[in-house]
Amino acid sequence: MINWETMDQLAKSRSHTCALSTAYARSRIKRSKIVDEDIAERINVLADGLIETCPPSRSCEIMRSVADIIKEESVMRIFTDEARMHLENPLYSTAAQVVESDIVSGLVLHRHPLLRVTCATTSSSPQMRLQAEDLSIDSSMAVGGYDSFVVFLQARECAIDLFEVDPSMDDRQILLPPVRKEMRTGDHLFLEGGKQGFVLATPQCRVNMILLARQLPRDPLSRLYDRKTRGLVRISSASVRDSRIQNLATALARLEGTRNGDALEQLTHHDSYFVRWHAVRELCSMDETRAYARLKKMAHGDPHEEIRSLSRQLTANEGE
């Protein structure tokens, strides 16, 4: 039986209405907010060149050309229209993918299998200001596995710390000292995947940017470094798909379920060596005997040399 009183309350609730509106918008997310098909096609033709064998210099050239298209007035008007719609209609939800974090918020303007284009604005949150002002606060610097290109559409009093992985260390355990750069409106920055990254160094800085990210990782891993010591803190898969599978493996190990062990053991056969190793670690947390048996097989049969080596080390003391 329908409770009409409850239905009426829900209909008048702004939070519930917004939630429904957001759910509807997500169900119809479009690949591109660029309605001009000619412009979208120009971007797609360029993005087609970001294939696996594309060198960094060519990647930079392609993304810079795409950025020049995005900066055209007809495309930038999309961002203005979105802002106006949000101001005029509190229930408006964009049909495009939205990016929201403590650092940036923005709108994905265009998605291609090999490229994602986002217009973003930096956050001026208290946490971001504190981290920029005080390096004693837990903060980090990320080096993604993907090539990226950043265009500073509007930047005033904007300083960044540009950092690079120490090339003398094969395991990429530490960053070189950062280089401080002043960025102005119109400046751009290319970051080679697996090697470079940057953070905003001025807490009062508010920046509008175009962010272009190549979707094929140049490095299979993304790395997180401590901002104060510049040492490696954590690594994860650069692939969004693989990262989600890692999260799934962690969930399987934490949740109750009679077949979770079977699912985790299947993940130890995944194509990505990083996912395989993560899965066997999670399997060990819930069933050491089963994980040990799997490690014995991986010690000799895993296709990745480092996985075989680590597995041999962990199973070397059998019988002691």
Domain boundary among 221, 237, 253: 237
Per-residue pLDDT band for 238 (boundaries 50, 70, 90) equals confident
Residue-wise pLDDT for 34-88, tens only, equals 767 888 899 999 999 999 999 999 999 999 999 999 888 877 777 677 666 655 6
* In-domain check, residue 24: no
Neighbouring residues of 304: CB distance < 8 A, sequence distance ≥ 6: 273, 276
Nearest Cα to Cα of residue 222 among 148, 282, 289? 148
pLDDT computed for residue 255 by the predictor:
86
Structural domain containing residue 144: 29-237
Residue among 128, 134, 135, 140 at smallest CA distance from 225 = 140
Which of 69-73, 121-125, 153-157, 193-197 shows the lowest per-residue confidence on average (mean pLDDT)? 121-125
Q: How far is CA 106 from CA 69, 98, 183, 216, 233, in A?
A: 18, 6, 20, 22, 27
Residue carrying structure tokens 């002002």: 133
**Percent of the chain at pLDDT exceeding 70:** 75
- Does the pLDDT value for residue 320 go beyond 50? no
- Quick one: which of 104, 43, 114 has its CA closest to 72? 43
Same domain, 253 and 296: yes
pLDDT tens-digit map of 88-141 = 655 545 545 656 565 667 778 888 999 999 888 875 544 444 444 544 445 788
Q: Is there a domain that residue 6 lies in? A: no
Rounded average pLDDT over 198-226: 86
- CATH of residue 298's domain is 1.25.10
Looking at 183, 206, 237, which one is the last position of a domain? 237
Residue 153: its H or E element: strand 148-154
DSSP H or E stretch at residue 226: strand 221-226
C-beta separation of 99 from 106 below 8 A: yes
Does pLDDT of 261 surpass 60?
Answer: yes
| Span 216-228, average pLDDT | 89
In a domain, 22, yes or no: no
How many domains, in total, are found in the chain?
2
Residue 69 lies in a domain: yes
Based on the domain organization, do 55 and 181 belong to the same domain? yes
The pLDDT assigned to 212 comes to: 95
68 and 146 assigned to the same domain: yes
